[in-house]
A and B are shown apart, each in its own frame.
Chain A
Amino acid sequence: MSKEGTGLIGEPVNLENDKHIYTVSEISREIKVLLETAFGEIWVEGEVSNFQAASSGHIYFTLKDDSSVLSAVMFSRANKGLKFKLENGIKVICFGKISAYGPRGQYQIIVEKIEPKGIGSLQLALEQLKIKLEKEGLFSSERKRPIPYLPSRIGVVTSLGGAAIKDILKVLERRFSDVHIIINPAQVQGEIAKEEIAQGIKNLNSLNETLPASERIEVMIVGRGGGSMEDLWSFNEEIVARAIYNSKIPVISAVGHERDWTISDLVADLRAPTPSVAAELVIPKKEDLEEKVDGLTDALKNSFLDIAYDFEQGVDDASRRMLLGMQNLLRLSASEFQALHKKLALLNPVALIRQHKLKLADLARQIYVRAVHFLEMRQAEFGSAAEKLSSLSPLNILGRGYSITFKMPQGAVVKDIKILEAGDTIKTRLHKGEILSKVTEVKGNG
C-alpha cells in the first residue's frame, strides 16, 4: 500500500487502477443522456426573457419564474411553424426535452412547440400583428378611400365555389345590375389561401393598369362566407393585409358574418359585415335609382324654371326701366330744348336788330337834341354878337352925342386938324341931321 504513496507533493497521483476518471466531455455526455432519459419530453411554463433570434434561424431565450431560470433553444426547423412572435415578457408553455449543452456546461430545454399561456397562439399572433400593422399606419382612417358610388366595374376576390360569390350574384340578380363583375378566383381557406387572396388583389390591380381609364375596376370586394375562426384565418394574415393596403383599387372587406372581425376588415377602405352587404353597398336598388332620377329630373325642371322666371322678371324689369329711361330722356330733352330755345331766342338777330334800331333811334334823338341845343346856343351867341356889333356902329355912337366931321367936298373924315385950313367947308354929321360949316380958325392941339 506504501507504494501508492501518501505524499501531497512530489509523486503523481495514480488512481487509474481502481477509480474511473471522466473527461469533461465524457461526463457532459453522460449528464446529457441522464437528463434526457430522466425527463423525456415535457411541458414547462415560464416567462420569456433574453430573447435572441440568431441569423442561423435558431431562437435562444431564457424561461424564468420568480426564483429560477432555464435556458431554452428553439431550432429553426421547429420555430418555422410559430404563429405568433416570441418576445420578452410573454408567458409561454414550451414543449420539448431537457438536455445539456456541453460546450457551455449548461442544461437547457430544446423547445419543439410553444404556446402562449392563457390565450391561443393564433389569437396572440392576431393581437401582435394588429399592434404591428397599426403602428405602421395600415389601419389609419386617413388613408381610407371613399367607395365609388355606382361603380360600373367591380372586382371580387373570393372562391368560385364559395358562399360569398353566390351571395354577391344573388344581390346582383335582384338589384340594378348594370355592372361588370370581374372575379379573381382564390382559395379562401387552407395553407395557400393567403397567397392566393393576396395575389388576386394584386392581379386585379395589374389588370387595371392594362385597361383604359373608362373601363377600370373601381372597387373590389375581398372576402368569403362564414366559418370558424381558423377558416377565416387567411384574412388575418399579414400578406393579405399588405396586399389590401397596397391596392390602388379601393377594397371592401367582407369576411364571414357580422361578428367576425379580421385584420383585412381593419385595413380595408370599408368593412362589410357579410359579402351580401358588400354587394348591396356597391350595387344599388333599382327603386332607389328611379327615385333619384325622378328627384333630379324635378330639380332640373325647377331650377330651369327658376332661371326662366328670373329672366322673365329681368325682361319685365328691363322694359320697365327702359320706359322710365325713355321718359327721363324725353323729359330731359324737353328741358334741354327749352334752355336751348331760350338761348337761341337770346341769339335771335331780329331782336338784336330791334335793339340796335332802338339804340339808333335813341342816338338820333340824342343827336337832334344836341343839335337843337347847339343851334340855340349858336343863335344866342349870334344874337349877342349882333348886339355887340350894332353897338359898335358909328351911327350908334352918334346917338350918344358924338358926331363925325367930313372935309368937303371930298367927304374925307376929319381925324386930324392938320388937313383943315381956315376957309374949308366941313360937314358935321350928327345923330340926327348934318351941318355945313365954314372953318374960321384952325387951332392945333398940342
Chain B
Amino acid sequence: MAEIKFEEALKKLEKIVDDLEKGDMSLDEALKKYQEGIELSRICSQRLDNAKKKIDVLVKNKKGEFELKPIEKESEEK
C-alpha cells in the first residue's frame, strides 16, 4: 500500500465508494471496504502533499536504444 500512486489510490477509492453505494454486501465486507477506503483517502491526501515530478528527455543511444535522461537543470530550477 505504501507505494501506491495517487491516481491508483483515487481510482480504488472511487471504486470502493461505488461498491458501498450499491450496498450489496455483508456488514463485514462493508466494514472492510470502509477501512480500506479511509486508508486510501489518507494516502491520497498524503500524495497530494508530497507530489514528486520527474521530467525526462527521450534520447536514442549509440546502439539505437531508447534512454531517458533528466532534463537539464536550467528548465527545472526554481
Contact = CB atoms under 8 A, between A and B. Distances in A.
| A, B assembled together | yes
B14 A183 contact: no
Interface centre among A183, A184, A306, A308 (most CB of B within 10 A): A183
A382 interface: no
B58 A203 contact: yes
A207 B7 contact: no
Interface centre among B13, B37, B47, B55 (most CB of A within 10 A): B55
Interface residues of A, number: 42
Given A210-B66, A308-B30, A296 B14 contact: yes
A436 interface: no
A290 B48 contact: yes
Nearest to B43: A293
A149 B53 CA distance: 17
Interface in B41-69: 41, 44-45, 47-48, 51-60, 66, 68
A182 B58 contact: yes
Contacts of B20: 299-300, 303-304, 306-307
A271 to B, nearest CB: 24
A184 B13 CA distance: 34
B55 A169 contact: yes
A297 B38 contact: yes
A303 B30 CA distance: 9
Interface string B8-49: 001001101100110101010011011001100100110110
A160 B58 CA distance: 11
B13 A296 contact: yes
A299 B37 CA distance: 10
Nearest to A206: B66
A184 B53 contact: no
Contacts of B38: 297, 300
Interface residues of B, number: 40
A248 to B, nearest CB: 16
Nearest to A297: B41
A112 B44 CA distance: 65
Contacts of B6: 150, 176, 178, 289
Interface in A163-184: 165-166, 169, 172-173, 176-184
A145 to B, nearest CB: 18
Closest 3 CB pairs of A and B: A303-B20, A177-B53, A178-B51
Interface of B: 5-7, 10, 13-14, 16-17, 20-21, 23, 25, 27, 30-31, 33-34, 37-38, 41, 44-45, 47-48, 51-60, 66, 68, 71, 75-76, 78
22 contacts: A151-B7, A172-B55, A178-B5, A178-B6, A178-B7, A178-B52, A179-B54, A181-B53, A181-B55, A182-B58, A182-B68, A183-B71, A185-B57, A203-B66, A289-B6, A290-B48, A292-B10, A296-B10, A300-B20, A300-B37, A304-B34, A308-B27
Interface of A: 149-152, 160, 165-166, 169, 172-173, 176-185, 203-204, 206-207, 210, 286, 289-290, 292-293, 296-297, 299-301, 303-304, 306-308, 310-311
